Amino acid sequence: MNWWLAAALALVTGGLGPCLWGAARGSAGRRVVAQNMATLLLCLVFLLLAQGYARPSYVDLALVVAVLGPAGTLVFTRLLGDEIGENPPGLRLLTPAVLVGAPATVVPLCIATGPGRAMGKLVLIGLLLIAGGIVTSAAVRRA
Amino acid sequence: MTRRLRLWVLTAGLLATAALYVAACTDLPAFGGSWHPYGDRAVRAALQQHTANAVSSVNFDQRAFDTLGEETVLFSSVLGTVVLLRRTRGEKRVAPGPAEVPAALRRYGLLVLPVTLLIGLYVIAHGQLSPGGGFQGGVVVATSLHLLYIAVDYKALERIRPLGLFELADGTGEAAYILLGAAGLIAGSAYLANTLPLGTFNTLSSGGTVPLLNAAVGVEVTSAVVVLLAHFLGQALEIESEDGAKDGGREA
Amino acid sequence: MDRLLPLIVVVPLLGAAVLVAAGRHVPRPVAEAVAGLAAAASAALAAAALAGPPEVSWVGAWRPQDGHSVGIVLVGDRIGLGLAALTSLLVVAVLAYSWRYFDEPPHGHGGAFPALVLLFQGGMCGFALTGDLFDAFVFFELMGVVGYALTGYRVEEARPVQGALVFGFVNSLGGYATLLGIGLLYARTGELGMAQVGRELDQAADAAGHGADALVVAAFVLVLTGLLVKAAAVPFHFWLPDAHAVAPTPVCMLLSGVMVEMGGYGAARVWTTVFGGPGGVPAAGARRTLLVLGVGSALVGALMCWQQRHVKRLLAFSTVAHTGLFLTGIALLTPHGVAGTALYVLGHAGAKAALFACTGILLDRHGSVDECELHGKGRGIPFTGLLFAAGGLALAGLPPFGTSLGKALVEERSPWLPALFVLVSAVTGGAVLRVAARVFLGAGQAGREDDEGPETTGGEEEPETGRRVRRPPVPMVTVAALLLAGALAVGTVPALTGAVSAAAEAFTDHAGYAAAVLDGRPAGRPEGPYDWWTWTGAGLGLLSAALAVALAARSVGLESRAVPWSAPLRRLHSGHVGDYVAWTVAGIGLVSLLALW
Amino acid sequence: MSLLPYLIAGWVFLVGVHGIATSRNLIHAVGCLAVTQSSTYVLLLAVGYRKGATAPVFSDLPVDAPVVDPVVQALALTDVVVGATVTALLLALVVQTAKRHGTVDPDELSELKG
Amino acid sequence: MHDALIVVVLLLVAAAATGAVLQRDPARQAVVLSALGLTLAVLFTVLQAPDVGLAQLAVGSAVTPLMILLTVRKVRRKGRRE
C-alpha cells in the first residue's frame, strides 16, 4: 500500500474536486479563491506523486507550479479586480491552508528523501509556496 | 439558419460522431497494454544517441522535422498577431496610469522574478536530461518577465522589454533552428541529422544537436510569447480609438 | 538529390525568419525582393527534383531498419513535387503581383506580408511532400494559421475579420478531427508514416482474414474530415466563400489556386497509401463517399456561383464547384481519373488566379467588386476585360485550355460524367462571362435591381492600394496574362500530359508506393502510351463553352440573377460560426454513413 | 476501466463542439475550441500508456526499466504548442471583430450572407 | 492505486471540461479553463507524461488566462462606451 499515492489520491478527491466545483460556480471572487487553492493543492499533489512513483525528476513540476500558480492568481486579481468584491467566500481558508498544508507535506518528504540536493529543492518549493500563498490571498482580499 | 434548425443539425452530427467513435473505441487495444513497437524503437534510438530524456530525443532528433513545423506554427502565429493587432490609422497609443499595488506584492514580484527566470533557464538547459525542454522553459522565462506587469505595473514591464530586440530574437531563434538542421547537410549526412559528438550519457552536453536545438527553441519561444503578450497588452491597455467616443471602426 | 528535398520546404521558412529578424531596418522593396528570391529558389529546387528520378528522403538520416524507422519521410513523387512546384510558382506570381501593393505595411514591419506568404508556401510545400500522417497534420495547421492571418490582414474593415474567424474555427475543428483519426491509427498499427500504416493494416488483414473493422473506417472518416474541410467539399465548404470574399486579392489567388487543391490531394494520397490495400476501407465505400461529396459540391457550388453579385464570392463558389469536379475525378480511383484531375488542377490554378488578379485590378480602380455597381466601368481597361473573358472561357472548358484537357480525360471514363462536367462548367463559366459582359462591355441594364434578400454586395470596398489607381499597374496585368498563358500551356504541351499520366500511374499504386518508400525499390514506370486530345473531349469542351456563352448572353439582359427555389440554400450560407461548426459535425456523420453503408 | 480514457476523450471532444456551436460569445467559443483540442491530448496519451511503467526519462531511472511510449508524448507536446498558438490568433481576431462590429455575439455578425 | 488515481483524475477532467463549456461568461470561463489546465497537468503526470504536463502547466496557468482576460477587458471596455 503506497501511502504517498494514497495521500495524493485523498488530496485530489478531497481537495481538487471541491476546488473545481468552487471554480465552476458562484461569484468571480469565489472562483479566484478556488483557483488559488487549486494551485496550492496541485503543488502538494505533484510532490506526493514524485515520491509515490519514486521519480525525483517529477519534482520539477512542483517547482514550476509553485512559481506559476501564484502568477496565474495575480493575473486574475489584476484583471478581474473590480468583479471580485470585498470578502469572497473561502478566503479565510487560504492562508491557514497554506501555512498548514505546505509544511505538513514537505517535512515528511524531507525526512523520506534524506539530506542532500533534493531536500534543498523541497525546502525551496515549500518556501515559494508559503510566500506565494500569503501574498496572493492578501492580493485577493485587497482587490 | 434558425437556432432550432442548427440544434437539430448539431444533435444529429454529434450523435453520429459519438456512435462512430464509440464503435472505434471497442476495437482499440485495451488501455495500458504493453504493445508499443514505435515507442520501444524510439527509446532504443534515444539511448543510442546518449539522450537521457527520450521525449526530447524524439522531439529534437528522431522527429525533428515535426518540431521544425511546430516552431514555425508558433513563429507564424506571432507574426500573424503582430499584423492583426497592429495600431491602425484611427488609433493612438495612451500610456496607462500606474496601478496602485500593495508593497508586499511588489516585494514578492521583485523577489520571485529572478527565481522564476532561473527555473525557466534550468528547464531549458536540462531539456535533454529531466522533464522539460525549450518550449516549457521558454514559456516560464517569458512569464517571469511579465511578473513585473502583474506584481508591479505596465511601465516597469515596458522598461525591461524592448520589442525590437525580442522580434530580432524571435527571427534569430527560428533561423538558428533551420541552420542547425542545415549543418547536418553540410556534414554530408541528411537534413537535421545529429552529426555532432554525442558526449557522455546523462551530462549537460550529451545528445549532440539536441541541446543546441533545445536552446534555439527556448530563445524563440521566450521572445515569441513576450511579443505575443506585448501586443495583447498593447491592445487592452494602451491603444484607444482617436476620439474616445467614436470608435475607429464602423459606427455601431 | 534526395538530400535536398527538405530544402524545398525549409528555404521559404528561412526567408521568412530573415525578413522578421531584420524587420525594422529593411526598406520595403528590399524585403519584397528577398521574399521573391526565397520563393524562386524553392521553385528552382522543386523543378530540379522533378527533373531527376523520384526519390525518398528520410529526415535526420533515420533510414528504416528491417522495414521500420523512427524518423519522418519526405516522398519526392511526381504528383507531390508537381504541387510543390505549382505552389512555388504561384507564390512568385503573387509576390510579383503585390509588388508595393498594400498602402502602408504595419510600421516597423516592412516585410510582414511577404514573410507570411513565404510561411504559407513553406506550409503547403511541406504538406505536399510529407509521407508522414502527423507531419501532414502539423503542416495542415501551419497552412491554417498563416491562412487566418492573411485572410484577416485588412483589420480596418469589418468583413475580413469575420471571414478569417469563420475560416479559423472550421479549419481548426477539421484539423483536430484529423488528429483523433491519426491517434486511432497509431493505436492500431503503432506507426505514423503513410506507407508504414498501410503495410501494417494489410498485414493485420492477412492475419485476421477480414478487411476493415469499425476502427479503420472511423479512422478513415476522421482523417478525411480535416482534408475535406480544407478541400471545401459540401457540407464542409461554408468557410470558403466567406474567407475568399474578404481576403486580399493576392491571398485569394493562393487560396483558390492551390491551397484548396491540397485538400483533394491529401484525401487522394491518404486513401491510396493508407486505406487502399486489402486492410483498408473497401474501394466501393471510398468511391461512393468521394463521388457523393464531389457531385454535391459541384452542384451547390454552381448554383450559388450563378446568383452572386460580389465578384470574389462568385469566384469562390466557382472554386467550390470545380473542387467538386476534382473530387469526382479522384473518386474514379483510376490512373486516368487522377491524371485528368491533375491536369485540371494545373489549368484551373492558372485560370482562377488570373481571374482573381483581374478582380483585384477592378477593386483598386473603382473601389468596388459589385457586379451592378461596376456596370460599364470596365470599358477603360479593355486588356483586363479580355483576360477576364479568357479566364471565364477557360473555366467553361474551352479547348485548348488545360482545364478542358483535364475534363476530357476524366469524362471518357463513365457515361454520365460528361453531363455533370458540361453543366457545371457551363454555369460557372457563364457566370464569369456574364460579369465580364456587364462590367467591361456595359451590356444589359445598369445596376437597377435593388438588393434581393439579405446578400453580401461587393459595394463600398476599400481599394487595397490605399488610393485608387488610374492605369492598372504593369505587374498586376502581366501576372494575370502569364497565369492565363500557363493555363493554355497545360493544354497544349503533350510532354506535360505524358509526364502527368506516368505520375498518376505511380500515384494510384498502393503497393508500389510502399515499396518505393520502405524498401527503396522505386517502381520503374515505363513511358507507356498516354491519351491526349480526342474528338469527343474537344467536342464536349466546345459544347460547354458554347453553353456558357449562351447562358451569359441570355442572362445579361435579365432583371435578376436569383433562382427562386434556391432561396433556402442561400439562407444556409449565413456567415454564423455556430452554423458552420454544426454543419461540419453533421458532415462527419454523413461521411461515416457513406463509408459504412 | 479499459475503455474509460478513450470514452472521456470522446466526451470532451463532443462537449467542446457543442459549446462552439451554441455559443453566444466569440471568446467563449475560443475557450470551447481549446476544450475540444484537449480531447486529443487525452486520447494520444491514453493510447501510449503502459500499465506499471514510468516516464521515459532516464536521468533518474535504470536504462532497462519499463517505460511509457515517448512518441505520443512528443505528439501531445506539439499539439499543446499548436493549441496555444491557434487560441492566441483567434483571440486577436476576436479583438478586431469587437472593434469593427461593436459586438462579439455571432448572431449579430451580419456581414457575410447569401 | 495507480488505476484509482487515473480514473478519478479522468472524471475530474471531464467535469472541468463540461464546466468550462457550460460557463457562458468568458471572464469566469477563463478561471474554469485555468482549472481545467491544472487538472490536465495532473492527468498527464498520472499517465507518466511529465514533459507534456509541464508544457500544459506553463501555457495554461498564466499565459492563456492572461490573453483571454485582456481580450475580455478590451471587448468589455469597447462595449461599455457604445
What pLDDT does D88 receive? 95
Half-sphere exposure of A113 (CA within 13 A, CB side): 25
For chain A, what is the total number of helices (H) and then of strands (E)? 7, 0
Amino acid letter for position C203: Q
Q: Residue C293 and residue C313: Cα distance in Å, rounded? A: 21
Q: Does A139 touch chain B (CB under 8 A)?
A: yes
Q: Out of E8, E53, E57, whose CB is closest to A12?
A: E8
**Residue A50 sits in which domain range?**
3-142
Q: Which residues of B touch D49 (CB under 8 A)?
A: 31-32
Contact C218 B72 (CB under 8 A): no
| pLDDT at residue B114 greater than cutoff 80 | yes
What pLDDT does C446 receive? 66
For chain D, what is the total number of helices (H) and then of strands (E)? 3, 0
Contact D112 C158 (CB under 8 A): no
> Domain locations in chain C?
1-130, 131-596
Mutate to test the interface with E, among B56, B143, B145 (most CBs of E within 10 A): B143
What pLDDT does C525 receive? 64
Strand (E) or helix (H) holding B224: helix B209-233
Q: Does E74 touch chain D (CB under 8 A)?
A: yes
Q: How many of the other CB atoms lie within 10 Å of CB of C550? A: 13
What pLDDT does E31 receive? 92
**pLDDT class for C288, splitting at 50, 70, 90?**
very high
SS3 C372: coil
What average pLDDT does the segment A61-70 reach?
92
Contact D113 C138 (CB under 8 A): no
What pLDDT does E81 receive? 46
Half-sphere exposure of A96 (CA within 13 A, CB side): 4
Contact B22 D5 (CB under 8 A): no
What average pLDDT does the segment C541-545 reach?
92
State which residue of chain B sits closest to D6, comparing Cα positions: B25
State which residue of chain B sits closest to D63, comparing Cα positions: B47
What pLDDT does D1 receive? 78
Q: Does B225 touch chain A (CB under 8 A)?
A: no
Q: Does A57 touch chain D (CB under 8 A)?
A: yes
Q: Residue D32 and residue C3: Cα distance in Å, rounded? A: 42
% helix / strand / coil in chain E, to the nearest 5?
Answer: 90, 0, 10
Contact A57 D54 (CB under 8 A): no
Q: For the whole model, what pTM was predicted?
A: 0.95
Q: Which residues of E touch D71 (CB under 8 A)?
A: none
What pLDDT does C519 receive? 84
- Maximum Cα–Cα distance across chain E: 56
What average pLDDT does the segment C356-360 reach?
92
Q: Does A23 touch chain B (CB under 8 A)?
A: no
Query: Is residue D60, in this structure, part of any structural domain at all?
Result: no
**pLDDT class for E34, splitting at 50, 70, 90?**
very high
Q: Which residues of D touch C158 (CB under 8 A)?
A: 100-101, 111
What pLDDT does B247 receive? 39
What average pLDDT does the segment B83-104 reach?
81
| pLDDT at residue E82 greater than cutoff 80 | no
Q: Comparing C564 with C356, which gets the higher pLDDT?
A: C356
Q: Does B229 touch chain D (CB under 8 A)?
A: no
Q: What is the CATH number of the domain that holds D19?
A: 1.10.287.3510
What pLDDT does A97 receive? 84
C-alpha cell at C299: 452542384
State which residue of chain D sits closest to C452, comparing Cα positions: D114
Q: Among C142-151, C200-209, C425-434, whose mean pLDDT is lowest?
A: C200-209
Q: Whole-number mean pLDDT of chain A?
A: 87
Contact E1 A1 (CB under 8 A): yes
Contact B142 E73 (CB under 8 A): no
Q: What percent of chain B has pLDDT over 90?
A: 52
Contact D54 A55 (CB under 8 A): yes
**pLDDT class for C527, splitting at 50, 70, 90?**
low
What average pLDDT does the segment C561-589 reach?
88
What pLDDT does B237 receive? 81
Q: Among B104-113, B188-197, C514-523, whose mean pLDDT is lowest?
A: C514-523
**pLDDT class for C455, splitting at 50, 70, 90?**
low
Q: How far does the CA of residue B39 sit from the closest CA of chain D (Å)?
A: 4
Q: Does E50 touch chain D (CB under 8 A)?
A: yes
> Given a contact as 3+ CB pairs under 8 Å, which chains touch E?
A, B, D
Mutate to test the interface with D, among A55, A61, A80 (most CBs of D within 10 A): A55
pLDDT tens per residue, range C67-101: 889 999 999 888 999 999 999 999 999 999 888 66
**pLDDT class for C347, splitting at 50, 70, 90?**
very high
Q: How far does the CA of residue A53 sit from the closest CA of chain D (Å)?
A: 8
Contact D23 C179 (CB under 8 A): no
Q: Residue D23 and residue C151: Cα distance in Å, rounded? A: 23
E 38-67: CB under 8 A from A: 38-39, 41-42, 45-46, 48, 50, 53-54, 57-58, 61-62, 65-66
Total structural domains within chain E: 1
Q: What percent of chain B has pLDDT over 70?
A: 96
Q: Residue E42 and residue A42: Cα distance in Å, rounded? A: 8
| pLDDT at residue B242 greater than cutoff 80 | no
State which residue of chain A sits closest to E28, comparing Cα positions: A28
pLDDT tens per residue, range C230-275: 999 999 999 999 998 889 999 999 999 999 999 999 999 999 999 9
Q: Residue E61 and residue A39: Cα distance in Å, rounded? A: 9
**pLDDT class for C103, splitting at 50, 70, 90?**
low
Query: Is residue D72, in this structure, part of any structural domain at all?
Result: yes
pLDDT tens per residue, range C390-420: 999 999 999 889 999 998 888 876 788 889 9
With cell 496572493, the residue in question is A136
pLDDT tens per residue, range E64-77: 999 999 999 888 87
Q: Out of A60, A67, A134, whose CB is closest to B131?
A: A60
Q: Which residues of E touch D104 (CB under 8 A)?
A: 75
With cell 493544354, the residue in question is C491
Q: How many of the other CB atoms lie within 10 Å of CB of B101? A: 18
- Inter-CA distances, D5 with B104, C113, D10, D77, E19, Å: 44, 43, 9, 19, 18
What pLDDT does B244 receive? 53
What average pLDDT does the segment C350-371 reach?
89
**pLDDT class for E63, splitting at 50, 70, 90?**
very high
SS3 C310: strand
Q: Comparing C525 with D77, which gets the higher pLDDT?
A: D77
What pLDDT does C453 receive? 46
Total structural domains within chain A: 1
Query: Is residue D80, in this structure, part of any structural domain at all?
Result: yes
What pLDDT does B251 receive? 26
State which residue of chain B sits closest to D109, comparing Cα positions: B252
With cell 533551420, the residue in question is B178
**Torsion angle of the four alpha carbons B73, B76, B78, B82, in this order, in degrees rounded to the nearest 10:** -160
State which residue of chain B sits closest to E78, comparing Cα positions: B247
Q: Which residues contact C365 (CB under 8 A, 6 or more apart)?
A: C377, C381, C463, C468, C469, C470, C472
With cell 518508400, the residue in question is C517
What average pLDDT does the segment C337-364 reach?
92
Chains A+D touching (3+ CB pairs under 8 Å): yes
Q: Out of C165, C570, C576, whose CB is closest to D90?
A: C165
**Residue D33 sits in which domain range?**
4-51+66-108
Q: Residue D57 and residue D72: Cα distance in Å, rounded? A: 14
Q: Residue B239 pairs with which residues in a beta bridge? A: B93
Q: Residue B121 and residue B215: Cα distance in Å, rounded? A: 10
Q: How many of the other CB atoms lie within 10 Å of CB of B26? A: 11
**Residue E68 sits in which domain range?**
2-81
Give me the residues of chain D with pLDDT under 50, please: none
Buried b (16+ CB within 10 A) or exposed e, A25-40: ebebbbbbbbbbbbbb
Contact C577 D26 (CB under 8 A): yes
| pLDDT at residue C212 greater than cutoff 80 | no
What pLDDT does B248 receive? 35
Strand (E) or helix (H) holding C74: strand C73-76
What pLDDT does B249 receive? 33
Chains A+E touching (3+ CB pairs under 8 Å): yes
**pLDDT class for A25, splitting at 50, 70, 90?**
confident
Q: Does C190 touch chain B (CB under 8 A)?
A: yes
What pLDDT does A75 receive? 87
Q: Comparing C279 with C557, which gets the higher pLDDT?
A: C279
Q: How far does the CA of residue B205 sit from the closest CA of chain A (Å)?
A: 19
**pLDDT class for C104, splitting at 50, 70, 90?**
low
**pLDDT class for B6, splitting at 50, 70, 90?**
very high
What's the ipTM? 0.94
| B83 contacts B231 by C-beta, under 8 angstroms | no
What pLDDT does B88 receive? 80
Q: How far does the CA of residue D81 sit from the closest CA of chain A (Å)?
A: 18
| pLDDT at residue C520 greater than cutoff 90 | no
Total structural domains within chain D: 1
Report phi then psi at A103, rounded to 5: -60, -40
Of C387, C398, C444, the C-alpha closest to C558 is C444
| pLDDT at residue E45 greater than cutoff 80 | yes
